[in-house]
Structure 1
Amino acid sequence: MNRTFEQLVAEGASEPTEGWDFSWFEGRATEERPPWGYVRLAAERLGEAHASLDVQTGGAEVYAEALGNAASVPARVAATEEWPPNLAIARERLAPFGGEVANAAGTDPLPFDDEAFDLVLARHPYGVPWEEIARVLEPGGTFLGQLIGWGTNRKLYEFFLGPQDDAHEDHGHEAVIRQRVAAAGLQLARLEEAVTKVEFFDVGAVVYFLRKVLWTVPGFTVEKYRPELARMHALIEANGSFVSYSRRFLVEATR
């Protein structure tokens, strides 16, 4: 039986948003993965590391998966996270690896000594503390990150917010990454970009996504955007899905 607009919205509005487990979207939304295989690359680097740090780990879902696939686990496994519900999830998930999770916001100094790690990871951080990453990396250490490119999900957020004046920034992100890596004293070893398709098959998935990835439409609530959600529902009903696109950068740099 087809669910109504109100039923779909209620489902998306009631699902807990803790952690970065996106399994709820199965059958309701999809996102293509970049071709480089971040988890595989992270697992390879972890298998060679003696001390690793994952910055802004969320619920440590991806970090734990990479650790589980690594040939060996670093003697020290650390992470940072800010949101209290995610802190608890990350600590529990990393416990089998002897992991420590520090409470630190993305803009805070990293609460670790200089040259404490030979591997720093970051997947989809909001803002990259390049200077702090360089500080905690030991000489010869590696940073491996998958970053969210400017303009990610532009079609989605402009559906709710209208045309935005940041479109000119979309093609400048690679240059900014190069500049900030160099300014932090790191040597860029690899920089790749991928544009991937994002598809939503019902409006409930859109509601849940905007609640979970809350910087996409800042201040999003169902009540505030009910007219736009109704239009989204009608569009999906007519076309079968709503399609947007994300941009991802793979960055590898060494100290």
Structure 2
Amino acid sequence: MIKDRQFMAYIQEVDQHFSGWDFSHITASGRMQSQLLPWSLGSLVIPLLRNANTLLDMGTGGGEFLSSLQPLPQSVYATEGYKPNVPVAKKQLEPLGAKVVYFEDDASLPLEDHYFDLIINQHESYSVSELRRILNDRGIFITQQSGGTDCAGINEMFGVPLNEEFAHWNLETAMEELLDHRFNITLSREDFPLQRFYDIGAVVYYLKAIPWQIPDFTVERYLEPLHRIYLVIQSKGYFEVQQHRFIVKAEV
């Protein structure tokens, strides 16, 4: 039985509400910080938006990223596959003229053939054949992805292997798939920035928000590894892991 009162107080963060794709509860206060990437998805997207009439934001979460890109093109769609996020996204995006579409299968999106000038995707899965179907003959796809080794240090501390289904997911694999479907790749970069947690409550909040990192995560099940990370933070001031990010821009 762990009797450290400070530790036990921190892990109550598991009860904090999480909505959309908003980590401000732990980022705005500096409790979790990530090293800067050598690119900005938003800065790359802005000039593309100005030349697009039809736009799709894949995996919009609560619409946080898309709403930051105003003014938006004439016709805007946003897909979201996690049902609790759909009403959050609608509240955020519908006043901006965007249509939020719920979907269940990457390989069968409820969207028109050859409709979109631009598809943006931030950390969302996708089917390359569906991209080809819904992009028009001048269409552009740009995505920033989390690679298969993202935050592997967390898994090491918990004694939980990385998800085998995504372990191969990296820039090379993504480029091969796009090239196989006759895309022309005009930008590709990969990076491994550091991410730091400055208290164990931030770790708990993060793992609750991204259940694929430790799929069966509960505080009760993983109390001992959480306490080990807590002790690392008490000693060093932070717990540090390596992220895995890559970006690809591809044109039809």
TM-score normalized by the length of structure 2: 0.91
CA contact (8 A) 1:130 1:184 kept: yes
- Indicate if the aligned counterparts of 1:161 and 1:217 stay in contact, CA closer than 8 A: no
Tell me the CA shift for residue 219 of structure 1.
1.2
Structure-2 separation of matches of 1:29 and 1:123: 20
Quick one: structure 1 residues 165 and 107, their matched pair in 2 at CA, closer, same or farther if it must change by over 3 Å?
Answer: closer
Given the alignment, which residue of 6, 9, 16 partners 1:7? Answer: 9
Residues 61 and 164 of structure 1: is their aligned pair in 2 closer, same or farther, counting only changes over 3 Å? closer
Find the aligned partners of 1:229 and 1:155 in 2 and give their Cα distance: 13
Cross-structure match for 1:212: 209
Change (3 A) 1:219 1:41: same
5 Å-filtered alignment, 1:83-232, equals 83-105=82-104, 107-125=106-124, 127-162=125-160, 173-232=170-229
Identity level (%):
30
How much does 1:73 deviate?
2.1
Instruction: Supply the distance in 1 between the matched residues of 2:110 and 2:37 (Cα, whole angstroms).
Output: 31
Q: Does 1:24 align with 2:25?
A: yes
User: Which aligned segments of 4 or more residues in structure 1 are displaced greater than 6 angstroms?
Assistant: none
Q: Deviations over 1:36-65 (max 9, x none)?
A: 111121222112110000111111111111
Q: Residue 106 of structure 1 contacts residue 128 of structure 1 at CA under 8 Å; is this kept in 2?
A: no
Deviation per CA, 1:198-229: give whole Å up to 9, x if none: 00000000000001011111111111101111
Equivalent of residue 247 in structure 1, options 244, 249, 252: 244
What amino acid is the match of 2:155?
Answer: Y
User: Is residue 2:63 matched to residue 1:60?
Assistant: yes
Q: Check the 8 A contact 1:31/1:196 in 2, yes or no.
A: yes
TM-score normalised over the length of structure 1: 0.90
**Structure 2 residues without counterparts, runs of 5 or longer:** none
Structure with bigger helix share is 1
Q: CA deviation at 1:173?
A: 2.2
Aligned match of 2:72: 73
SS of the residue aligned with 2:129? helix
